[in-house]
Each structure stands twice: as structure tokens, then as C-alpha cells.
Amino acid sequence: MSHISALATRYLSDGQNNTDIGNDVWEALRGEAFRAIANEKALRGFINTAVLAHEDFSSALAALLARKLGGPHISAERLEDLVRTASADDPELIRSGVADLMGVLTRDPAAGSYLGPFLYYKGYHALQWQRISHWLWQRRSKELAYFLQNRCSEVFAVDIHPAVPIGRGVFIDHATGVVIGETAVIGNDVSILQGVTLGGTGKETGDRHPKIRDGVLLSVGAKVLGNIEIGARAKIGAGSVVLKSVPPCATVAGVPAKIVGWCRGTSVPGLSMDQSLPEPDYSI
């Protein structure tokens, strides 16, 4: 078993509580960075700046995120200070960042290393910035939180309200067109594919967005609307429009979505990433 596979196995079994995994991921990331610059000298400066110039995962992530959103209104240096301050105040931000990176590695067959997702996956970057924005929101720095939400929408094409609490090990794949409204809630080990909307149903105010429980898979283009609950280990089929609560373990599909099957045994759709649906009992 490779070092990556071993770490992935540990993450799935006890990664929520194992503090050593963060250090191991950082060492693996550095090893991959050294191999990358040996193979592609044109990227030496970029990878040195992004990974090898830093002493730990936290500092590397802060600098990388800051360079993604820095601009004429707030410099990368000030944003890096913000991320460092938030991470020092709430270490859960870094633990979640490591868990999210492990989630990418265990669920995306295109991710054969830590380095690629860390450097290039905009879903990962947008999610980490949302965690920082949520930290600001909880401390009543709402204007800055809104500013970061807007920058993420401009840069990553991902629009997640800073009020949304998000669990660990969340994977936003491809990410383009993902929209998540203010009163939504997202649990642990949830996978969200491109074009997903967790929205309201109109102009109502108050608690008006979906609650996504642990282990849910939201397939490509799914639209989940209203103050409804998607139960743990549910699967939402691609292109579905969900207007009613979904029981735990159910598979739903269609417009409007209806139950078409159930998960089996201990399977977790948010981890397996299997978007397939049960065969219909008819043929055309």
C-alpha cells in the first residue's frame, strides 16, 4: 500500500480525531513538491513559493489562499495575515482544511497526489475561504465576510454565504456554478458537484435553505430548494430538483425529485461518489 493510500485509510477510519494526520499530509505534500520541481523546472519558483518556502501546512495554506484573492482593494499580504489570525484563533480551520484535502484525495480519481488539489482545485480553495468568512461572520465582521464571498464568486465562480456552517471532509468537485444560501447547513463528508444550488424557493425570509446531513452526495446540477432536510447518506441524482425533505439513505431523482432507491448496508454516497441510479422497472 502506498503512503497516500495508507493515509487515506487512516483518514476514513479515524481522521476526524487523529492530529498526526495533518503533519503526515504536510510531509507528503512537501515530498511531492520536491518531485514536481525536479520533473518540471518551469514550475520551480511557483512551487517553492506555494509549498517549500513554508514551515507547515497552515502557513502554506494561508499564503496560497491570499494570493488567490489578493487584489487592489485588499492586498495578498493583508489577506494572509487574516488567514493566519483566524487559524490561530480557531485551529479547527486547519484541521478541516486537512480533512477536506484528504476528502479530495479519497473521492476524486483524477487526484493522484496532495499537491495537485492543494495548488489547483478551486473548489478546495473556495471552501477554505468560506471557512475563513464564516469565522468572520461569527465575530460580527460581516462586511469583510461579504467582501470575501464576493471575491470568491468572482475568482472561483462559487457563491457560498459566509453564515453557512460546514462540516469536515467536504468535497466540492469542479465547483463552477455552486450556490449555497444563507441558512443552509452542510454536515461532514458531503460531496457537492458542479452546478449544485442549495437555495430558497422565493422571497421568504428567515430559515429558508436546505440542511444537508452527513455523507450526502449532491450530484451534478442538483437543485435543492427550501427549508428542507436531506437525510444522512442520501443521494441526489444529477439534474434533480428537490422540493421536499429526503429521508436518510434515500436516492432521489427527477423533476420534481422522487425516491428511486435506497443505499445498501453501510455505503456512504458522499464518499463513494457513485452517481448512478437504480435501473428503472420499464424500458423504452
Q: How far apart are CA 235 and CA 45, in angstroms?
A: 42
pLDDT at 9 (0 to 100): 56
pLDDT at 18 over 80: no
Residue 256: asked if its preceding bond is cis (omega within 30°), the reply is yes
Nearest CA to 44 out of 56, 32, 55, 36 is that of 36
pTM for this model (two decimals): 0.92
To the nearest whole percent, how much of the chain has pLDDT over 70?
A: 91
Q: Pick the residue with more confidence: 258 or 283?
A: 258
Mean pLDDT of the chain: 93
Type and span of the H or E element at 199: strand 197-199
133-177 pLDDT tens trace: 999 999 999 999 999 999 999 999 999 999 999 999 999 999 999
128-163 in b/e burial notation, b at 16+ Cβ within 10 A?
A: bbbbbbbbbbeeebeebbebbbebbeeebbbbbbbb
47-74 pLDDT tens trace: 999 999 999 999 999 999 999 999 999 9
Hey, what domains does the chain have and what are their CATH numbers? 1-157 (1.10.3130.10), 177-276 (2.160.10.10)
227-267 pLDDT tens trace: 999 999 999 999 999 999 999 999 999 999 999 999 988 89
pLDDT at 1 (0 to 100): 39
pLDDT at 34 over 60: yes
Type and span of the H or E element at 241: strand 241-242
Q: Pick the residue with more confidence: 116 or 2?
A: 116
DSSP conformation class of 261: E
Nearest CA to 238 out of 173, 166, 147 is that of 173
Is the separation of the CB atoms in 215 and 239 below 8 Å? no
75-125 pLDDT tens trace: 999 999 999 999 999 999 999 999 999 999 999 999 989 999 999 999 999
